[in-house]
Structure formats: C-alpha cells, structure tokens
Structure 1
Amino acid sequence: MSQNTFQDTKTEFDTGSGKAQLYSLKKLEEFGYSNISKLPFTIRILLEAVLREHDDFTITDKDVELLANYNAKSPEGEIPYKPSRVVLQDFTGVPAVVDLAALRSAMKRMGGSPQSINPQVPVDLVIDHSVQVDEFGQEYAFMHNVEKEFERNRERYEFLKWGQKAFDNFRVVPPGRGIVHQVNLEYLAQGVFSREEDDGSTVVFPDTLVGTDSHTTMINGLGILGWGVGGIEAEAAMLGQPIHMLVPEVVGMELTGALREGITATDLTLTVTQMLRRHGVVGKFVEFYGEGLQNMSLPDRATIANMSPEYGATMGFFPMDSESMRYMRRTGRSEEQVTLIENYMRAQGLFHTADTPAPEYSDTLKLDLGEVETSLAGPKLPHDRITLPNMKKTFESSLTSNDPTMGFNLAQEELANKGTFKNGQEIEMTHGDVVIAAITSCTNTSNPSVMLGAGIVAKKALEKGLTVPPYVKTSLAPGSRVVTDYLEEAGLTDYMDQLGFNLVGYGCTTCIGNSGPLPPAVESAVKEGELIVAGVLSGNRNFEGRIHPYVKANYLASPPLVVAYALAGTVDIDLEDEPIGRDKEGNEVYLKDIWPTSEEIAEHLDSAIRPELFDKQYGDIFNSEEWDAIPVGGGELYEWKEESTYIQEPPFFVDMGEEPEPITPIDGARALVKVGDSITTDHISPAGNIGIDTPAGQYLMDHGVEPADFNSYGSRRGNDRVMTRGTFANVRFKNQLAPGTEGGYTTYFPEDEVTTIYDAAMRYKEQDTPLVALAGTQYGTGSSRDWAAKGTILLGVEAVIATSYERIHRSNLVGMGVLPLQFKEGESADALGLDGSEVFSIDVSDDLQPRDLVPVKAQKENGETVSFEAVCRIDTPVEIDYYRHGGILHYVLRDYHKADQEKQS
C-alpha cells in the first residue's frame, strides 16, 4: 500500500467544540485490513502511532502493515515507536539531564551547535525520590524532612533549574508536590494531544508516553499507553528517535465478579501479581477485560497497573471507558477536554463499553474477584503472596529456610535470639518485630479507598485504647497533596497522627530505600540480637537490602494492614485468630474489630475525589517557595564544576570520534562477578545509603564530604565517580567469586586476592583486561535503573552472559554498549562447569546480527577449555547499530552532528 493511501486515512471528526482530524483505524479497516476491530486495544494504539508518524523513511509501509496484520498467536517483527511525551523522576531524571548537558558539551567540542541538542517531545520531570524519613511521628516531621531534602540536594536542584531554563519542552515539578506516577495520573495525563500539520489541519492523537521509572505503567489504569524504559532509551525518545521494539504478545486477563466485603484493592493487586508472574508475562503486554471491570474504580485499576514490573509485564492495560471519563472529570480536567477525549476514543474504536467484544489475545487467564483474600507479599519479592491466615506460619518457616528468595537460613539455636530496646523503658525484641510501618509509594496512596481505610483503622484502634509499640518507625508519605486534604476533610488526620503516622513528605520514601535511619535504640537491639526484624509497607518493592540494611524481612500490604501490623508490633502473629491488643478494659481486640467496612469507606469516598481539591493542589504545581528561591546560572552549556560531588560530566562522549569503530572480538576477558538467579537492578545499581567503608564513601571523604552529608546513591546519580564505585555494591549482593562475603567484593585473578569490585576493576583496567559478568535467570529484574548498565560499562564489563534477562535491563545494556549474551536452553554457567576463574574469549565481529549464536571459549587455569555458543541478545537490527556505536546516545550524537554539519554547509 502506498504512502498516499495511508495519508488517505486522515479523517474529520467532531471534537465536541468543533472539527479536527484523526488518522482513522476504521478507515484502515475499510482499505482491506479487516482484523483491526479484533486487535487488542494496546496494539490499536501502537498502530495509530505508526500510521500517524508514517513518513516512508523512519516509519515505512512495512511497519504499518506489520501491526495492521497483527497475529495474536504468533506476533513477529519489530516496529519503530514514537511516544507523545516522556516522564522522568529525579533519581533517573538527573542522569538523563546530565547526559543531555554532556551531549551539548560534546557537540560543542565536535564543532556543532549545542542548541540542536534539545527535547523534541514534551518532557516532565517530577522531583519525588529525594525526600528521606529522617523525622517521623511528630507534627514537625514534614517541615524538617523538606528542609533536609533541600539542604542535601541543593546542587542537584540548581542543576535541574538550569535544565528547566536551558532546554525547550522541559518542565520540572518541584519537591514536595507528589509522586511522579500519581501526579501523572491526576494532572499530567492529557488523554489526547493535538498538533498542527503541514497542510494546516489540526490532528488529534492518543496521549502515549515512556518514563524512566518502571512504575510509569500506573497510567495504564487510565487507558493511556505508557511503560518504563531505561534512561538511555528515554533520552533517545526525548531527542526524537523512535524506540525500536519487538511486536509484543498480548495476554488477556478476564476479570469477573466483585470483591468481597473487607477485601482491598491491594489484596487484588497482589493476587494479580502472583497469578501473572506464575503465568509468565515477561516482555508481554497484559490487557484486562471482562464484566468485572464494571465493578472496579479507576484508582483500583491504577493500583493493578502500577505493579506491572512486579508481575513482569511491559504494561498492564485497562482500556478507556465511562469510568475513565468520570475520573478525568473528578480530578479537575475540563469538560471540553473530557468530551474531546471521549469523542476521539469512540471515533477510533478505542472506547470500551459493557458490550465491547473481547479482542483476540495471544493467551488468556481468568480471575473471579470474589475469590480474592486479604494478602501480603514478601519477605523478599513482591510476587510471593501470602494470605493473612498463613502469615504467621510462613514467617516462622522462613527463618530457617535456605531458599534464597524466601528464607533467612537461621540455625535452630538462633531462633531464640533476643535484643533489648532501651529508650526510657526496656522492651525485649525478637525475630519478626515490626520496626518500619510505612504508608508510602505510588501504588496505594493513589487510591482513596485504602487510604481512608487506614484512617478508619487508626480511629477505631484509638477508640479502643490501642497504641503502637515505641520501636515501630511509622510514617505517612502520600503520593499527592490531595490525599492529605481528603484525610483532613474526613476527620481522620488526627487519628493517624496520634498513632505516629504523621505526614513525613510527599515522595517515594521507604519504597525506594529512603526510610531514613532507625532510632538508635532500635538499631542497637537489632544488632544485639542479630534479629530478623520486619518492615510492613504499602509499596511495590521489597527486594533484599532495599528498604533498610538492618530490616531483612519486608512485606507489602494495604495501608489499613500497615496500620494493623504497626499496632501488633510483629509479623509473627495470626491476625485472624490472635488478638492485636487489648482495649481500655483489658478485653482482647481482634483485627475484625477495627477493620473498616465498605459502608464506612463509602461515606467519605464521594468527598475524597472532588475537582476543587485537584484544582487547588495542581493550580500552582510548578512552583513552591523553596524551589523559586533557588538561583539559576549558566546558559546553553552547563558549567561543569570539578569540585562538585553531585554533578560531573560523564566520560561517555569525551574524545569520541565522528565515526564508530567496527565490532571486534572480546579476548582475554576475566569475570568480575558471578551471580545466581533473580539478581535485581537493586543488586547491581547503586541505591540506598553510602557506607563509610565503601569505595564511594572513601571517595566522598577524600573530597571533603562528611559522612553525615553523604546523602544517598540515588541523590548522587549525576556523578559517575560515585556511581561507578557503588555498582554491584548492594549490602545484600552475593558474588560467587568471593564466597562468604556480602556487598561489593570479588576475587582479583590470577592472584586470587579478595578485594572490592571497584578496586579489582580498576586494576584490570590498568592492564587493559576486558571483563565479563556471569549470571543466572531473570538477570536485571526490577526498576529501570540505567546506572545498572552505566556502572557495568564504566567498570569495564564488556559482556554479560546470563541464563535469561529482564526486558529493560537487557535493553539498557545494549544502550550502553555492553554485549548481552544468553546461555542456550538447558545450559548455564554451573551446567558448563564455569566457576568464574576462567579467561574468556568471545568471537564477535562487525558482521554480528540480532540473535546470532556467538562462539565463546573459557580457558581454565589447568589449560582445559570449555567451548560453547551463546545467543546474542541484541534483538533488533537497530540495536546492532547502537552496539557498534558504543551505545544509543553515541549513535544519536553522531546522527545529530551529521545533520548539523549538513545544515551548516
């Protein structure tokens, strides 16, 4: 089909306030593509994007036809995809802006125009990852934590304000306004966009996005296509490059029935997460359908969509319907905008109704909402669901289990360990005591039903005279200021405060490891007894070492259940059959006595989501007194400061040639790390606190930074010197090359010397010795941390050989010029007898093709050679180009420079 025919799909429609144009999928169906109305909604939206952006150059006839002829049972091929916008948060956004600034500096050095490096699509950065829970349980906690946040991060914030001024299409939401995904859901999301085309017509198209946080998928609950990508991919999209993606399988999950009394959206989400993780949806889209959708609020849908990374899917999508429109109206979108959205979606066949037939899916599974039970997930992975009645016995069995994802491998004699909490009183602490109870994260604080439920639990508990033990660190960190408004209006704030759930900040806090220090008396008791203590949080992540280095057992739960476990003070309790405490008269109080009813929650729900609440909080979203007071310096180029410990020009583009070098073999390589299954990006990428005795800590002290001012790794993502030293240095990282150690250690070969991973890498670099990493299944699962790939390449690791990869991290490795290889089916490092002491040779050349079988030789110390073939997990032709250039940004820079030179000539 010709380009002109595809242009003929442009059709007029009624916006509700006039006429506009759209690229009609229905028209495409009239042209002979008869399957359009049976496509999954997500594929239809992707099809509209390639149809609209079709230029017969970057997006061709073949790309349109590939999606128009989509075969759900055996999808194949690759498409270039251009999202409408990009969303960043500050932990992942700062390094993205640093890279843009570095690209401008490099362009200047190459003789080009720095101003040509500029976002080509709208970009919003929300500062939400920097606040830490230093103070808690006090009225002044919020103000103190905000003051500390600005004090710690002032240099980063000055840099972001420079970026806001220097770059077009770039907005920054200041600290203390909310969590990026909730702000996106409640405010940033437009539903549809419009643009003027060369012929003068106004074209309307879907609001689509990618984000540098894996939980960008929360927006799928609103029927908006969006998912998490690595910072490297996001930067390319910002610069106008298409994201090249394999056409996905789409798994349909049918929902029927309704939730029973007392069951929360969190319980449903944890159930869905477990089901889909078991089913296997890594790298796939998931769409929800069925009559159960009619019984779900939009916040409930968003709670499920948020957890897509935890069930492994690229996204979990709910198509737009009348509930989506109600939510848009109730959150302050104008009637004109909502009418435009609905009219567009109906005209495109993208609006879901009760009688909409189910699309054709690659696979399906089914859940009756009425079968969902009260649940938690943990102690180390978000998809390890535990029903409430099984919680006590599951925790107790985990203490002695040697299962790396479920157990703590204690000896029998260690089960009786005790520690004494001494702080004006003495309390004996044991395994399972809850030391962190945090209502936090985007997942649940977007949902009024569970937030109001938490307030009702607090109210009922106080009325019965229950209190929280003094060793529990309690906190409330909502996803937006609207939450505190409706809790106040419902009369529940005072009850939360009295139990210690005072407002500590509007940010991710505990869920990303910004839980802050434990009180000294608690830390002392935990150390004394070598206790396995617990955190209970309403977040989406509980990976090892993430929440707090001294809190090894972490459980995800609904906000009301977080309050309940705070009251109980332990997870070693059966809350269904054992009392949570005693009332003022000494009578036993059970969870059922303080649990909210649906009727009680419903009393407050209508007032919880009112347009005026959202208008009030989002009317000045881009301003704050503290933010406005930060000075802005610099011009089109950032003035790099050698003395800065927060922002440094990364070495990626320094001394870069105008043309790429050919791909050559990797010879004489040594293994830097060898790890098992389910190694997360939290294990790889620097995150959490910076230890005094770590290479990063030593670097900071050498540069005059006191330990009290170290801040977190996340806050220093703009400094490659810190981040490289913290790569593979998670306190729970177990490198099989340094058995018996935890943290960033390895064995330096051939001397067999155990040293830090950073020091060993630098010694290898001095000898021009390339490095490899050996890994098991699901390597790189978790958040879309670009520094997991950046740190890898800066340590000198040129190839990773793993049994399997998580989607985003594999893409990020390629994006940084690291070769991802995968053992063939049935093979692994252990199965091949590789212990990591070998010298590796990888036979790649400039003829490398996607998914090639690559010969690898590993020579042992005794001269024996293990030869095998590994699958090249560079999956698409354009990724080969990225790898050849040394990374996607190198490719983009050379492309921009070439265009700039042609323009100048």
Structure 2
Amino acid sequence: MSNDIYTIKKLLNTKNGTFTYYSLAEMQLQGFDIERLPFSIRILLENVLRNFDDFAVTRENIETLLNWQPKSTGKDIPFKPARVLMQDFTGVPAVVDIASLRAEVTRKGKNPDTINPLIPVDLVIDHSVQVDYFGTEYAYDRNMEMEYKRNRERYQFLKWAQKSFSNFNVVPPGMGICHQVNLEYLSKGVLERNGEIFPDTLVGTDSHTPMVNGIGVIGWGVGGIEAEAAILGQPVYFIMPEVIGLKLTGRIPLGSTATDMVLTIAEVLRKYGVVGKFVEVFGSGLDYLTVPDRATIGNMSPEFGCTVTYFPIDDKTLEYMRATNRPEEQVKLVEDYCKANMLWRTNNENITYTDIIELDLSTIEPTVSGPKRPQDKILLKDFKPKFIDLLHSSFGRTYVKPQEQLTRWYSEGGSALPIDHKTDMQPDTKIEGKMEDGMKTVAITQGHEQFILSDGSVVIAAITSCTNTSNPYVMIGAGLVARKAREHGLDVMPWVKTSLAPGSKVVTDYLIKADLLDDFEAMKFHIVGYGCTTCIGNSGPLPPSIAKAIEENEIVAASVLSGNRNFEARIHPQIKMNFLMSPMLVVAYAIAGRVDIDLINEPISYDPNQQPVYLKDIWPSDDEIRSIMQGVLSPTHYAQSYDTIFDGNEIWQELKIPAEKNYVWDEKSTYIKEAPFFKDLPEEPQPLKNIDHAYVLLDLGDSITTDHISPAGSYGENSAAGLYLRNRGVEKADFNSYGSRRGHDEVMVRGTFANVRIKNKLADKEGGYTKFLPTGEEMSVFDASVKYKEAKIPLIVLAGKEYGSGSSRDWAAKGTFLLGIKAVLAESYERIHRSNLVGMGVLPMQYLEGQNAQSLGLSGKEQFTINGLSDDIKPLQELEIIATDSDGHMKKFRVIARLDSQIEIEYYKNEGILQYVLRRFLKKS
C-alpha cells in the first residue's frame, strides 16, 4: 500500500538537484485549511503524512492533525523524529539499555546485530566536567585530567558503542555543550535522505533540547526511555498540543539583554500556564531577534513548562546558518523547501492560536531570577530589598547592613579587615563566627588575608550553560564588563569561586580574537572546561575555609550564574540561594561579592584610590558590543572548531575498547552494569491486576522536581550509595557524581529520593528519609524500600502539584520503579516525567479536580488498595482507591489513571516501553 494517501508527493527542483517531498501546499489546494495552522503543527502534519503506515501512524492520526483545534481534544498523535540528541549523563544509561537488549536477544538465541539505532544518534559528552580547579591558567587542563580519571570507564563504554552500533556518533569530552553544538553544527534545518527532503526534527534526552527551536527545528526533551524507543523505531506519542502564540513587538532596549528577556518570558508564561503546550513566536519583534537570541528563549522552554518554543524559519535563520559555516547549498535548500512547503515565516497573522500572549520587548528591564526557581523574576533595581525580604521570610534573619557589620566587628575587637583582595589559599585558616541581630557573619583569616563572609555573600559566580554561552552578544558584553573593571583597578572578591565554561570552542576563538579572554582571566574567570559545569551541579567543592565557615555557621550564601536552573541543592548543597542572570551581571556580582547591593545606585566597588566605581562605569554600550562582534565573528571559527569535533584529544584517542559486538559486562564495575529490566523477560506480559494494601513510601508537597527525585550531584560516604561503594572498596575521593554512575542501577536506586532538601511528610528530618510504617522506624528511603520488598508490600508515592517538573531524567522513573513503587498519586504532572513513569511500568494517577490529600483527609500512613486495573482499561479511566488507616477506618475516592492513550496502556501492560519493543522484536524475528 502506498503511504501517499492524499497524492501529495511532489518534486522540488533546486540548484542542488531534484528531490521528492510531501507538499503541504498541495493539501491547501485540495481544500484543507493549512494556512490557519501554526507552523509547529504543520511540521507535525508533514511528519505523519510522510510516515503513514496504517499501523504506528494511522489515517486517524493524520485527520487529527488536519483538524487541529485551538482547544485540546485530548487525542493522541505520533511523532517520528529524524534524529536523536543525547548528553552523556542520560546517554550512558540509554546505551546500557540498548546493550542490555542485545544481551537478552542473544540469550534468547537471536542475532544481536539486529539491535541497532534505526535513526542517527549524536551523543555529546558535556555533563561530566567538574570545576575542581578555577581562577588559574591551568584550571582547564587539570579539570580535563580529573574528568578522564573519574570517567575513563564510562568513556570507554561510549567509545565501544560508537564502534559497535551503526548510526551512532560520539562527540568526545571538551568540545562543547550538546545544545550549543546542536545549534551551531548538527542542525541542518532541512534533511535529505534517499532523494527525499523533509524538516529536520529531533528529540533529545535533555529537557533543554528546545534550544534548537531558535533555528527553526522542531525538537524537545524526552526521557531517555522514550528516546531509546525512538532510536529503535517507535514513534513518540503525545496528546495533540494546544499552541499559544507569543506575540513579540518592539526591541530590547539599551542596557537590557536577551537574558533579561528570557527571564521575563519565563515569569509571563509560567503565570499564564503553558505546561504541555506548544508556544509559537510571531510578531514584528522577531525581525530584531537573532538566532542566538531566539535560542536563548527556546532553551528555557522547560522553565516555562511548555514542550517547545518554536521560531519559524526566516531570513534571520539563513543569516545565522551562513555565519556558522553551513554550506551555501544547504542554506539554499532550506530556503527553497520552506518557501515551497508553507514553512517560511511571513508577517501573515491569520494563523489560529489557542491564545495569544503579547510582550513588548521595549519594556524589558535588567532582571535576575531566584533564589530557587527560574520563573521567580526579580528586577535588578528591586534585588536588594527582595533579598532582605527573603532572608527574613525564609530564614528568619534580620538584615544588617554590611557597613554596620564591619563597624560592630571592629568595635568588638575583630581583626583588621580586607584591604588586599588577592586570593591566597594557604592552610593556616582561622574562622571566627558571630551573629549580628540574627544575621550570620563570619571572619576568615586565610594566609595573610582577612575577610568577612555573611548571609548574602556570593561564593560562586559562574558563566555557564548553553542558555547564554551560545549568545555572542552577552559573552562579549561580559568580557567588556571585565575589561572596564580591570581598567578601573577592580578585582573579584576573594571568597568568590569564579568559572567560565563556554558552550563551544568557537566562543574561546572569538574571545581571543577580541582580546577579551585576558580581561576575563584578570577577573579570575579562567576557562574551566567546555560543559554544563555549575548549571548541572558540577560546581565542584568550595575552598575549604569557605565551606567550613558556611557549614559551621549556617551562612545563607549565594551563587550567581548565567544558567537556566537554580533548583534547591542543584548548584551546590551548601548554597541556599541561587540566582540566574546574564553573564555581564555575573561578572558584576563577582566584583561586588554580595547580592545585597543596589547595583543601580550604590558603588559596585572602590578603585585603589578608594574612589567609588558604579555599574554604569563598567557597563558597555550596544555599539561597543556590536562593533566587536562584527570584527571577530567569522564562519572560519566554526569551521576550525567543528572540522575536528569527533576526533577528541590524545587521551580519548588512546582509550582501548573491546572488539565484541556484545558488551562484556564487568561484575566488579561500579559504573557500568547490565540493566535489570530485561533479563529473562517472559515473552508474554502478565495480566493487569489491582494494587492491594500498598504503603506510602513518600508523602510529598507541591513542585517536587526531578532534582528532588533523581540521583544528581555529589553524595556523602554515609549515604546509601556511599555505603554501597565503600563496601565495594571505592574510596570517598573516587565517588564521583551520581550523574557519572547512571550506568549502574545499584548506585542509582540508592540515590533516588535522596536529595538533601527533599521534605517527606512521613519523616521527622529533611532529606532522603522516611518511616517504615509497619514499625514507625525512621530510616533512609532506600533502606525502607528493602524492608518493604522483603515483606512483599507494594509502595506508592503521594504528591501535590507539578510533580516531576525539571529536567527529563530517566532515572527519576527508573529509580522509582526499582524502589518497588507501583504507582504515584499527584495533583498534576510535568509532561516528561509522567511519560517516563509509564515507560517504566509505574502507574501515574491524578486526583479529581479540586481534590488532594488534604481535602480527602489522607495522612499518608494508610494502606491503599487501587481497584479497576484490568486488561480492558481505557485511556484516562477512573479508578477507585480505598485508603484504610490503622484503626480500620476506610476512605473511598476516585482518581484518574494517567495512561493517556492506548499505546501507553500497552506500555504499562508490558511493564515498560522497552519491554514492549523487545517483545515485538522477538515475535517478528
């Protein structure tokens, strides 16, 4: 049967040759109103038209998209991406799973070579570099050495995969951040395969994949589980999205940046509510936004809560493609195809959107966001009073001006305080703690230097994350702030850990050409690596004296970073306030050393002659920034960086890898282990049955993120994971991060729900603790789960609104499953995590509208029986729950099973999406 059921396959004659394509313009001629459809919906429509097979993609799917309605119909649609993007944290467990599928196929007597990626996969190693060394010329080399020392086994595994799997490329460490590499190099705009052309589309195993929306490519973040299924030929299924039109007018004013714009948009869209929706940008303001500006917005889609923030292809797109060294024939192909196929942006505003939100860019003001959510916008001019309010409301401390602290310190016999700002990390460190009117203050004598650390001190200042390092305007702007500060004789404060982590080597090239790297380094912003670093939580340890002072005196220290994430305990477990801002402001706050300063009206610091220097004195003009950009940005830089992107350094090239097609699992490894999900999988799934007499493992509140659930960052030697590794002979110095051990389920399950800031209502103390309810004994979540398993008691989780928001982490779902949790009951879910729970065979349930644990009078100490689970369950079916307390009193209520489609029901029946794929493969072969 022909898959061209509407007879719309046409020929496009270009200078590059003649190609076939599925013509949306022909659909318009046939009477379908394609013009009213948002561009993002047109791309989804083209995708189902081209991939129609009447099985995975049906006629009903096509008709659903053709009849797209502004208000969601709740109907399910498939999406077959053209490629998959991975980073190493999420990529390693995905490759472990695929290698484990090969192992199970071999055990069942089938050919392991048949398990291969069916579409191209690019994995960029960018999440493992940690800022151990900073503020020196040798920082980059030392951090790279440490990265390979910690991760050699993982890198050997990935290099093996690159050789053993077809359609699988690995970008070695030290080359850049996956989203910036995707934007600058991997994305083509339009793809050609076997004489057919179609839009470049992808899914990525990182929630910030929508950064690529800025170059006109549809792509979004999915869990590693969904990505693995896509790699193996399964469509990604999701509910037909509503599309919110974001109408931009005006221009960003002088003094404001794209970072200020995106933090403003984050607040606006979060307040409106765009979770699970598409956002599509239009309006005259787009004419003034470059692709890096657009990508800055697209990058933070998960912070808005939407699936994508799409920017249709236009002249600005082509301009960027040429500037980044895309071949001219590719650029012309993009233009010809998009103009022929109704995918070229025009100022025609006849498109129908679900709703329209307008933003006048000329109203954007300098902005920061925090202290623990990206959408918590604070205008720079209000930052100081907001900090004072937060200090009191969140920590019960009364603010005292730093000048008064110093005066009191002097009058009470404190040591003479800093004149010299040079950092001298000598071991003879003395720390004296004081409390001034409820505000914590500590005097530190460090070598020959003395200074005061107090609430509001900036201890980390990081220019990090693809959000901003992909944007030359703000990076060059930050370099100019450093240059002007240097010219005024300023320096960063000695307690600030500074770092510069570009998203690609192109950034280094143009900073060197502009002679700005020297200025960064003069402010101690030396390059520490090419990776996510601080933004992903790899900020490394604080200097010992700073760490000790914070820990012993409960200092409310702050970080400032140009990233996209500032959730609790993410940046550093000792830092309680984290603020997002432009790279330019990161440099400014590193110089000020504090966040409780009015940068608009107060001096940022004093020069050597004690003359005040203000932010306006070191802030560059728009003309200065653009003049340098014009002089240093060149396609040549992109060619130099990306011509050798897959080569890696000498250490990578010398890594020895096994030759076998099946990976040889090392039982002694604490990094790589065969996944337990597929071993000896029965060829038919068991019938669905009710969940009887389950206990609650965790009773949680609102806004529980995957940073709370998934193992991330560092961990202590007395944690469940730490004890496991110590018993395996691993020294604490070699623990590495959870992210680096994502290929080992025994480590990861012990770190699930182990975040030091998680608040479980069943436990008396903060962190990854719970009560084993049959005895009331408090213990770690992992230890309790073991006792429940021994007693053969199923488990559930209770939660509030926005459960699972944050990064698309497969281990948030995998760890949940391995703890023995059969179901989660929440008020609402983040899109990716709900899907991942289904993909692991965990049942997501949702309270009926207006109900929650409090309204139903649930304590979390009841036993729960969930009725209504059977093989004939329907999408979004209601289930009955009976909650029985210790006195035998029962509460009955109904919930919605968030199995949103028939295919999700099939995944749930099979105990997971990969089990479903494996069983289908075994039946065919």
Question: TM-score, length-normalised on structure 1?
Answer: 0.97
Distance 2:335 2:653 in 1: 37
Q: Does 1:348 align with 2:371?
A: no
Structure 1 partner of 2:362:
370
Q: Given the alignment of the two structures, is residue 823 of structure 1 paired with residue 847 of structure 2, yes or no?
A: yes
Residue equivalent to 1:422: 445
Aligned to 2:287: 294
| Secondary structure in 2 matching 1:64 | helix
2-structure distance, mates of 1:411, 1:742 = 24
Which residue in 2 is equivalent to 1:903? none
- Distance, in Å, in 1 between the alignment partners of 2:896 and 2:115 is 35
2: CA distance, partners of 1:487 / 1:414? 46
For 1:515 and 1:408, the matched residues in 2 are separated by: 24
Among 756, 766, 773, which residue is 1:742 paired with? 766
Q: CA deviation at 1:110?
A: 1.9
How far residue 609 of structure 1 moved from its aligned partner, in angstroms, is: 2.9
Amino acid at match of 2:385: K
- Post-superposition offset of 1:421: 2.5
Q: Among 86, 89, 104, which residue is 2:87 paired with?
A: 89
Give per-residue Cα distances to partners, 1:223-259, cap 9 Å, x unaligned: 0000000000000000000111111000000000001
Q: Distance in 2 between matches of 1:133 and 1:209?
A: 31
Q: Of the candidates 128, 131, 134, which is equivalent to residue 130 of structure 1? A: 128
Q: Which amino acid aligns with 1:421?
A: I
| Long gaps (5+) in structure 2 | 400-435
Could you say what secondary structure the match of 2:677 adopts? helix
Separation of aligned partners in 1, 2:437 and 2:647: 53
Out of 456, 464, 470, which is 2:494 matched to? 470
Q: Which amino acid aligns with 2:308?
A: M
Give the counterpart letter for 1:272 in structure 2: I
Query: How far off its partner does 1:7 sit?
Result: 5.4
Which secondary structure does the structure 1 equivalent of 2:834 belong to? helix
Tell me whether 1:20 sits opposite 2:19 in the alignment: yes
Once the two structures are superposed, the pairs formed by residues 640-655 of structure 1 within 5 Å of their partners are 640-655=665-680
Offset from partner CA, 1:199-228 (integer Å, 9 cap, x none): xxx110010000000000000000000000
Once structures 1 and 2 are overlaid, which stretch shifts more, 170-179 or 857-866? 857-866
Give 3-state SS (helix, strand or coil) of 1:37's partner: helix
2:331, 2:73 → 1: CA distance? Answer: 34
> CA contact under 8 A between 1:418 and 1:528: conserved in structure 2?
no
User: Could you say what secondary structure the match of 2:747 adopts?
Assistant: helix
Please report how far the alpha carbon of residue 103 of structure 1 lies from its aligned counterpart in structure 2 after TM superposition. 0.5
Residue equivalent to 1:528 = 552
Cα distance in 1 for partners of 2:706, 2:16 equals 48
Any idea what SS the aligned residue of 1:672 has? strand
1:385 maps to 2:402: no
Contact kept in structure 1, 2:800 and 2:852, CA below 8 Å: yes
Matched, 1:496 2:489: no
2: CA distance, partners of 1:729 / 1:713: 11
Partner of 2:504: 480
Compute the RMSD of aligned alpha carbons.
Answer: 1.2
AA of the residue aligned to 1:660: P
Q: How many residues align?
A: 886
Match of 1:207 in 2: 200
Structure 2 residue identity aligned to 1:489: K
- Aligned match of 1:273: 266
Query: Distance in 1 between the 2:353 and 2:540 partners?
Result: 45
| CA distance in 2: counterparts of 1:85 and 1:538, whole angstroms | 29
Most deviating of 824-833 and 749-758: 824-833
Aligned-residue identity in percent: 56
Paired position in structure 2 for 1:160: 158
Deviations along 1:255-274, one digit per CA (max 9) or x if unpaired, are: 00001111100000000111
Aligned counterpart, 1:447: 471
Letter of the structure 1 residue corresponding to residue 472 of structure 2? P
Q: Does the 8 Å CA contact 2:3/2:50 hold for their aligned counterparts? A: no
User: Aligned partners of 1:646, 1:528: CA distance in 2, in Å?
Assistant: 34
* Cα distance in 1 between the residues matched to 2:722 and 2:541: 17
Aligned to 1:598: 622
Deviations 1:695-748 (A, max 9, x none): 000011111110000000000000000000000001111111103x12110000
**Contact in 2 for aligned 1:266/1:558 (Cα 8 Å):** yes
Mapping of 1:246-325 within 5 angstroms? Answer: 246-325=239-318
Per the alignment, in what secondary structure is the counterpart of residue 428 of structure 1? strand
Distance 1:144 1:67, change over 3 A: same
Aligned partner of 1:791 in structure 2 is 815
1:726 aligns to 2:718 (yes or no): no
Task: Tell me if the contact between 1:9 and 1:28 (Cα under 8 Å) persists in the aligned partners.
Answer: yes
The structural deviation recorded for 1:17 is 2.2
SS at match of 1:260: coil
Corresponding residue number in structure 1 for 2:404 = none
Q: 1:834 aligns with which of 858, 861, 868?
A: 858
Structure 1 equivalent of residue 174 of structure 2: 176
Question: Which residue of 643, 650, 663 corresponds with 1:638?
Answer: 663
Aligned partner of 1:704 in structure 2 is: 729
SS of alignment partner, residue 731 of structure 1: coil
Distance 2:58 2:875 in 1: 20
Q: Which residue of 2 aligns with 1:225?
A: 218
What SS is found at the alignment partner of 2:169? strand
User: How far is 1:452 from its partner?
Assistant: 0.3
Residues 1:242 and 2:267 aligned together: no
Look up the equivalent residue of 2:101 and give its one-letter code. L
Counterpart position of 2:775: 751
Q: Is the 8 A contact 2:249 2:286 kept in 1?
A: yes
Alpha-carbon distance, 1:524 to partner: 1.6
- Of 861, 871, 874, 1:846 maps to 871
Equivalence for 1:199: none
Whole-Å separation in 2 of the counterparts to 1:143 and 1:893: 43
Q: Which amino acid aligns with 2:225?
A: I
Compute the displacement of 1:3 (Å): 5.7
Amino acid at match of 1:871: I
CA contact (8 A) 1:3 1:61 kept: no
Counterparts of 2:676 and 2:830 in 1: how far apart (Å)? Answer: 27
In structure 2, the residue matched to 1:662 is 687
- Once residues 876 and 103 of structure 1 are traced to their aligned partners in structure 2, the CA distance between those partners, rounded to angstroms, is 25
Q: How does 1:623-634 map to 2 (within 5 A)?
A: 623-624=647-648, 625-634=650-659
Match of 1:557 among 548, 569, 581: 581
| Distance in 2, Cα, partners of 1:357 & 1:539 | 33
Show CA shifts across 1:140-191 (max 9, x none).
0000000000010000001001111111000000000000000000001111
Structure 2 Cα separation of the partners of residues 445 and 674 of structure 1 = 39
Equivalences for residues 111-122 of structure 1 within 5 A: 111-122=109-120
2:4/2:49 contact within 8 Å kept: no
Correspondences of 1:892-903 after superposition (within 5 Å): 892-900=917-925
| SS of structure 1 residue aligned to 2:48 | helix
1:193 Cα deviation after fit: 1.2
Counterpart residue identity of residue 874, structure 2: Q
- Partners of 1:490 and 1:5 in 2: how far apart? 53
Offset of 1:4 from its aligned partner? 6.8
Shift of 1:850: 1.1
Tell me which residue corresponds to 1:404.
none
Distance 1:676 1:392 in 2: 29
* Matched AA of 1:373: E
Q: Please list the CA deviations of residues 592-620 of structure 1 after superposition, one character each: whole Å capped at 9, or x if unmatched.
A: 11111101101111234311000000001
Is this contact kept in 2: 1:75–1:249, CA < 8 A? no
Write the distance in 1 (CA, Å) between the matches of 2:324 and 2:437: 53
CA–CA distance in structure 1, aligned partners of residues 899 and 808 of structure 2: 18
Q: CA deviation at 1:411?
A: 7.6
Q: Distance in 1 between matches of 2:833 and 2:917?
A: 20
Other-structure match for 2:40? 42
Residues 162 and 898 of structure 1, relative CA distance in 2, 3 Å threshold: same
Moved more, 45-54 or 2-11: 2-11
**1:101 maps to what in 2?**
99
Q: Which runs of 5+ in 1 are unaligned?
A: 197-201, 402-406, 901-905
How far is the alpha carbon of 1:845 from its aligned partner?
A: 1.9
CA distance in 1, matches of 2:904, 2:14: 40
Among candidates 667, 681, 684, match of residue 709 of structure 2: 684
TM-score, with structure 2 as normaliser: 0.95
The offset of 1:415, in angstroms, is: 3.0
**2:699, 2:762 within 8 Å by CA — same for their partners in 1?**
yes
